[in-house]
Chain A
Amino acid sequence: MIAAPAMLSSVLALAEGPLDAHAAPELRWAGLALLLPLASSVLCLLCGWLKVRSKLPAALTIAALGGAFATILRLQGTVGETPVVVNLFDWIDLTWGDGSRFHGFTANVDLYIDRLTVFWMLFVTGLGTLIALYASEYMESDVGKGYTRFFGAVSIFLFAMGCLVMGGNLVMLYLGWEGVGLASYLLIGYYFTKPEAVAAAKKAFIVNRIGDLGLALALFLIWQCYGTVEYAALWKAIEAAPASSEWTAQAIPWLLMLGAFGKSAQLPLYVWLPDAMEGPTPVSALIHAATMVTAGVYLIARMFPLFVVNPDALAAVAWVGGLTALLAATIGMAQYDMKRIWAYSTISQLGYMFLGLGVGTTFGASYHVFTHAFFKALLFLTAGAVMHGFAGQLDIRKLSGLLKVPGFRLVSVLAVLGCFWLAAFPFTAAFFSKDEILVSAFTAKDDRVHLLGWIGLLVAALTAYYTFRVCFRVFFGPVKFEPGHELHGHDDHDHAHDAHAHHGEFHPHGPRWAIRVPLVLIAIGAILAGWPSYRTMLHHDESNWVKTQVAQSSAFQGVAAESHGSLDGHAASSHASAHTEDAHADHGHLVLGMDAHTAVGRLGSLACIVGILVSLYVHLINRGTADALRRTLMGTVATRWIVVGAERKWMVDEFYDWVIRLPLRVIANILSAIDELLLDAGIVNGIGALPAAVGRVFRPLYGGVVQGYAVTMAGGVALVAAWVIWIWLRGAN
């Protein structure tokens, strides 16, 4: 615990650190990155209104996203080391009393732009444009029906993601947070006639909402402890009072974590992501692989100063990340639907990123986000192309040898390339980013996280295995396939122009240019994503570009300390790493007798190659063995649970259903009954009927007989007279 503040104070002693922002009204044009997607969503709405039948909405969205990407590129040039705050317009600000720090709450619509923001927006808008181009063809069968709705939602998503990343205060982040939640709800539920899609959309929104509650409470806490939610002011407040022991300050990171795990589908709240595959594939690629799910990582990276103060929270992040990676990998191995497998792999890779954050390397995590975005988008889009061509068929048991199928040669090659990247094959971009994370895991000061390094390596092997399980089954081996039953829109139009008559014979049709071009570009992106680490390896002088980006932002504490000393100091060459602050070299952690970097490098590649070889044997050379292995495991009761568990996704969904949803449902029904019967019919009507009941008691008095009345009257008079005489007059005088 003691180490953390020391590190923090030493770093702060630097000159104008990356935390003191200055207002830059001249950069108002940066707002274009938000305005363009918003404008395109409004235009799509108009198209919907005017019942446009053409591909206009796609064009609008692609243009808007392209413009946003250009704005970010321009920003890349202009924004220096110090962050910039640009105020667009006032939103919520109320002051009372003397308007001092705790007597007001301001949350205006302004942008906080530092290197991290630009870095994040680069791949968000970049990938967004390419995927929009891809979707323009992919969704063409719905041109008249849902096309405008689709592209409207995509534009809303990009606008919300922009708010989230570029927002200047936590409330803007919250606006983006829920905005992307809405967009994912609309997009997952795109095929709204399918009940499973609507249920999946609802599940996604609600699970995200649980996370959002955590974020909202964190916001309240932050204002209560530091008096402000604006980033610029927040960093200064944290510097002024870094670690107050009050429970509220301690609780902030945990609540932020809850929000992050909800959005980035980590252990407790990951159940919605696999179901989110109900949406169209471009949605899965853009939102549920590349951009939205990284929001959690961004949140923790942005709020890193708060996390650094609380090492237990960091350790928790690491452990949750590690365990999620492991769990998701195990499930991924036993699935048959290609999109579901990539979904679980996304969860697993996100687990890696949180592992990276937890062990203190925001650079490693961000770099992995960067590389993962590209190759995961590539994998999803190739899966989409396959699904597009094979009438919705995604079961890896029913597809084989696609490399040799005419028209799918390019798609398969790119898919194989994606698999190599996902498996973190040595010297691929993913290998370097994963390597960074594992190194930090091993060399982290907090020794509770060292075990995670080993878990990371195990997961790397599993990842390699299940990636190439899909790759060998689908793309290699003999050519045989069955068309999917899903009569997607585009399937009908297949039959429409399918020349030969006998409908039994099914010819898959390859994707056209609008799908091929984005695939190629993203593949190039995936390759280039590795470029920063290639440069450091070859020239030994250039510091990793991503590292400089992350270092010059609020997440700088997470950049590995040794290189931070001199921002442009020579990269941590694999061997002679000069540590600036601690006496003993490299924390003295030697892994298996070797230096951390070399050890991880070798072990990582070893794990990857072993994984590939195993899946090569099991899934290509002798495909029967997988089924045989499955039978043997199922045979004995002791090992049966492994297979059943993996295939049935460890019954986490059912567990949630049983433990949370069902009891709530029962309580709700009881309460509804209480409200109707007890409260309404019972008490309220009861009180209503009370006077009538009392009335019936007095009814016999009105019997109708004169004497009866006379008796009661005389009785009344006698009673009163007696009461007066006995009680009052005796006492009075």
Chain B
Amino acid sequence: MVDMSQTVALLAPEIVLFVASMLVAVLGLSRSTGVRSLVPWVCVVALIGSILALDAVWTPERIQGARLLFPMLGKYGKTIVALIGIGLVAVSAGSIDRRYEEAVARGRASFDALRVVRGEYYAFLLLSLTGAMLVMSAPDLIWLFLGLELVSLPTYIMVAVARTGRRSMEAAMKYFFLGALATGITLYGFAMLYGATGTMQLIPMRDVLVAQAAVGGLSTTAIVGTILTVLGLCFKLAAVPMHFYAPDVYEGAPLPVTAFLSFTPKIAGFSALITVLGIVGWSGHAMVDHDGVRIAYEGLPQPITAVLWMVAALTMFLGNIGGILQTSLKRTLAYSSIANSGYMLVGVIIGPKGGIGAMYLFMLGYGVMTVATFGVLAALERKGEEVDSFESLAGLRASHPWLAFLLTVSALSLIGVPPLFGALAKIVLVFVAFEGGQATLAGVLLLNTAIGAVYYLRFVGAAVVNPINAKSQEVVTVSHRWPKVAAVVAGLGLIVLPAFLSRLVDASATTVNGYIDYGETVASESKR
């Protein structure tokens, strides 16, 4: 049996975050503003603590003991979650409960523990991050399912609670119901996978499926089950056909929550997707054609690759094409997140030989770009409201030159202009697509980059080129300086990271180490 102490030890980062979330929930309710203002700091300290715990606890023998499908995935994955998590905490600092806190500070309203939301908000944020980390080191299906649920349930609440407006309530409603639908589909997929393999442990499941593949190809339940799971997970990635919620929820939700939604469910979703596809095995499959000849081939079974190919292509096209028509900032960024999911799906399709590494590198880049962009937007406000249209952004250069510069850098990096990190991540992805034999998909990716450039250029145009107009006159910076700090760190990161590119590429390549794919042995190419 699995030695419980080993797996529990591995959970140290999650435990740190969990305890911190409880602490934060309580601190949020204290009467003194000083203590309440401590909450974001506690979150940041907890996240840093989780990274340190991760390093401390991550020893080779524990990994062996934990019998994980992707043993090394956690090391890199959890670090990104924590780092970007810090950025997301910084982006949301200062805008939760701001008007109520100001009212209390000026004494207009008496403090009422019931109305204060800050503590719960950050607690749910930390819980969601914990969920994401759990998904990355799930030894079995149940753990995977719980991890996924732990990611999405807090986000439903965060969307509803952060700002009591009609729009955020509608967003929460849509997000909850469609999320529940998708989870149902995923669950049924898990059930069929269980049915096909007879066990919940991931590694034994993979051995069963590989054995089935060696004999005569996967059973129908296995393939349908995988596809249902994949489609269910598409909701988390905001990939077609499950992407419809994204524009409305991103627009409705308050800005910091939108930032959170555009990163954490995505990384959790992708990690779960890779785990499920890992079970089905990337190689050593054979397709027996009509006259019984067994053709061994690389990569996922044909139907699953075909489905993923279709989902990736459609996601890229619909994401980019949808973005062109938008006038609201958050809605445009929603379509941008859909499109970026499409790009990352290309990495997933290519599989362990470079694809997943490139995908996680792109994920890091995407995370940094999200923090940078949302950091700038969170740092601005107009008459107390969030800034959500290109007109109000116009002429940012005149009033806030540094924020305009950062927005330009992140927009150009999203477009893929070379010296910035976004472009280099995309170049590695395209290169790996060629390597994995997906030349047409690489072509589709490049074409979509061109289409995407249209709406990203609007950010650049608004920030630097267009002159100030009536609406953008009233835009001022938020008193709280954390979003600005996040934006500066992330923005400069986009410029500085290319220098460390080789180290990052090697780090993201380690995510796949240790994934022993028996099929590989069958295909006579051992993979260490």
Given a CB threshold of 8 Å, the question of whether A touches B is answered with yes
Residues of A that sit less than 8 Å from B by CB? 688, 691-692, 694-696, 698-699, 701-702, 704, 706, 708-710, 712-717, 719-721, 724-725, 728-729, 731-733
How far is it, in angstroms, between the C-alpha of A717 and the C-alpha of B244 when the chains are bound? Answer: 13
A716 & B303 in contact (Cβ 8 Å cutoff): no
The reply to whether A733 and B224 form a contact with Cβ atoms under 8 Å apart is no
Is A724 touching B248 in the complex (CB atoms < 8 A)?
Answer: no
**Contact present for A733 and B217 (CB under 8 Å):** yes
A-facing residues in B214-243 (Cβ within 8 Å)? 216-217, 220, 223-224, 227-228, 231, 235, 240-242
| From A694, A708, A713, A715, residue with most partner B Cβ within 10 Å | A713
Given contacts A692-B325, A694-B321, A695-B325, contact A709 B174 (CB under 8 A): yes
Stretch at the interface among B146-154, B176-184, B370-378: B176-184
Shortest distance from the beta carbon of B489 to any chain A beta carbon, whole Å: 34
Q: How long is the Cα–Cα vector from A724 to B224 in the complex, in angstroms?
A: 8
Provide the residues of chain B in CB contact with A732, threshold 8 Å.
Answer: 217, 287-289, 302-303
Q: What's the Cα separation between A708 and B178 when bound, in Å? A: 11
Can you give 7 A-B contacts (C-beta < 8 A)? A692-B321, A701-B244, A702-B322, A709-B178, A724-B223, A729-B223, A731-B290
List 18 other contacts, CB 8 Å, given A691-B320, A695-B321: A688-B454, A692-B321, A692-B325, A695-B322, A698-B322, A708-B244, A709-B174, A713-B182, A713-B242, A716-B240, A717-B228, A717-B241, A721-B227, A724-B224, A728-B302, A728-B303, A729-B303, A732-B303
Cβ of B173 within 8 Å of any chain A Cβ, yes or no, is yes
Closest A residue to B175 by beta carbon equals: A706
| B303 proximity list for chain A (CB < 8 A) | 724, 728-729, 732
- Give me the 7 closest cross-chain CB pairs, A-B, nearest first: A716-B241, A728-B303, A709-B244, A695-B321, A724-B303, A691-B321, A695-B325
Query: A residues within 8 A CB of B248?
Result: 702, 704
CB distance from A676 to the nearest CB of B (A): 22
Q: List residues of chain B with CB within 8 A of the CB of A694.
A: 317, 321
Contact pattern, B 291-331, Cβ under 8 Å of A = 1, otherwise 0? 00000000000110011001000000110111011000000
CB distance from B136 to the nearest CB of A (A): 26
**Contact among B174, B242, B290, B321 with A698 in the assembled complex (CB-CB below 8 Å):** B321
When chains A and B are docked, how far (Å) is the Cα of A728 from the Cα of B288?
A: 12
Judging by beta carbons under 8 Å apart, are A699 and B244 in contact? no
Contacting pair B324 A692 (CB below 8 A)? yes
In the complex, what distance in Å separates the CA atom of A303 from the CA atom of B185?
91
Decide if A691 touches B451 in the complex (CB within 8 Å). yes
At the interface, is chain A mostly helix, strand, loop or mixed? Answer: helix
In the complex, A115→B242 CA distance in Å?
93
Give chain A residues whose Cβ lies under 8 Å from the Cβ of B173. Answer: 706
Known: A702-B244, A732-B288. A714 touches B181 (CB 8 A): yes
Q: What's the minimum C-beta distance from A715 to chain B, rounded to whole angstroms? A: 7
User: Inter-chain contact count A-B, CB under 8 Å?
Assistant: 92
Q: How far is the CB of B265 from chain A (nearest CB, A)?
A: 16
* Bound-complex Cα distance A702 to B251 (A): 13
CA distance A242 to B397 in the complex (A): 76
CB distance from A466 to the nearest CB of B (A): 70
| Residue contact B224 to A721, C-beta cutoff 8 Å | yes
CA distance A458 to B84 in the complex (A): 101
**B302/A710 in contact, CB under 8 A:** no
Which A residues are in CB contact (< 8 Å) with B245?
Answer: 709
Given contacts A706-B177, A713-B178, A724-B303, contact A691 B240 (CB under 8 A): no
Is B71 an interface position by the 8 A CB rule?
no
A691 contacts B227, C-beta separation under 8 Å: no
B residues less than 8 Å from A724 (CB atoms): 223-224, 227, 303, 306-307
Expressed in whole angstroms, the Cα–Cα distance for A714 and B181 within the complex equals: 9
Assess the A720–B325 pair: CB atoms within 8 A. Answer: no
B324: nearest residue on chain A (CB-CB)? A692
Q: Is the CB of A713 within 8 A of B325?
A: no
Contacts of A712 in B (CB 8 A): 241, 244
With both chains docked as a complex, state the minimum distance between the C-beta of B216 and any C-beta of chain A, in angstroms.
6
Which chain B residues lie closer than 8 Å to A719 at the CB level? 241
Give the chain A neighbours of B181 by CB distance below 8 A. 710, 713-714
Of A692, A694, A702, A712, chain B has the most CB atoms within 10 Å of the CB of A702
Q: Which residues of A contact B178 (CB under 8 A)?
A: 706, 709-710, 713
A733 to B324, CA, bound (A): 44
Determine the residue in chain B with the shortest Cβ distance to A716: B241
Judge if B247 is at the interface, Cβ distance under 8 Å.
Answer: yes
Closest to B290 in A: A731
Cα distance A196–B278 when bound, in Å? 84
Q: Is the CB of A733 within 8 A of B242?
A: no
Residues of chain A contacted by B454 (CB below 8 angstroms): 688, 691
For the complex formed, measure the closest distance between the CB of B521 and the CB atoms of chain A, giving whole angstroms.
23
Which A-chain residue is minimally distant from B448 (CB atoms)? A691
Residues of B within 8 A of A708 (CB): 244
List B contacts of A733 (CB < 8 A).
Answer: 216-217, 288
Residues of A within 8 A of B240 (CB): 716
Bound complex: CA of A457 vs CA of B85, how far in Å?
105
In the bound complex, do residue B242 and residue A716 qualify as a contact, i.e. CB atoms below 8 Å apart? yes
Contacts of A729 in B (CB 8 A): 220, 223, 303
Residues of B with C-beta under 8 A to A696 = 325
**A725 CB, nearest partner CB in chain B, Å:** 7
CA A710 to CA B320, docked complex, whole Å: 22
- For B182, the chain A residues whose CB sits under 8 A away are 713
Bound Cα distance A710, B184 (Å):
12
Please determine whether B247 and A702 come into contact, CB atoms closer than 8 angstroms.
Answer: yes
A733 to B325, CA, bound (A): 45
Which residues from A are CB-within-8-Å of B289?
A: 731-732
Residues from chain B with Cβ under 8 Å of A721 in the complex: 224, 227-228
B293 → A minimal CB distance (Å) = 12
When distances are taken between beta carbons in the complex, the residues of chain B under 8 Å from A716 are: 231, 240-242
> How many angstroms from the CA of A696 to the CA of B241 in the assembled complex?
17
Cβ of A723 to closest chain B Cβ, rounded Å? 8
User: Within the assembled complex, what's the spacing in Å between the Cα atoms of A720 and B230?
Assistant: 11
A691, A724, A729: residue with the most chain B Cβ atoms closer than 10 Å: A691
Task: Give Cα distance in the complex from A716 to B317, angstroms.
Answer: 16
In this complex, the member of B173, B302, B325 whose beta carbon has the largest number of chain A beta carbons within 10 angstroms is B325
CA A706 to CA B302, docked complex, whole Å = 33
Contact residues in B for A709 (Cβ distance below 8 Å): 174, 178, 244-245
Contact present for A713 and B244 (CB under 8 Å): yes
In contact, B306 and A706 (Cβ under 8 angstroms):
no
Q: Mark B266-296, 1 if CB is under 8 A from A, else 0.
A: 0000000000000000000001111000000
Report B170 CB to chain A, min CB distance, Å. Answer: 9
CB distance from A572 to the nearest CB of B (A): 82
User: In the complex the two chains form, what is the Cα distance from A708 to B177 in whole Å?
Assistant: 12
On chain B, the residues within 8 Å of A713 by CB distance are 178, 181-182, 235, 241-242, 244
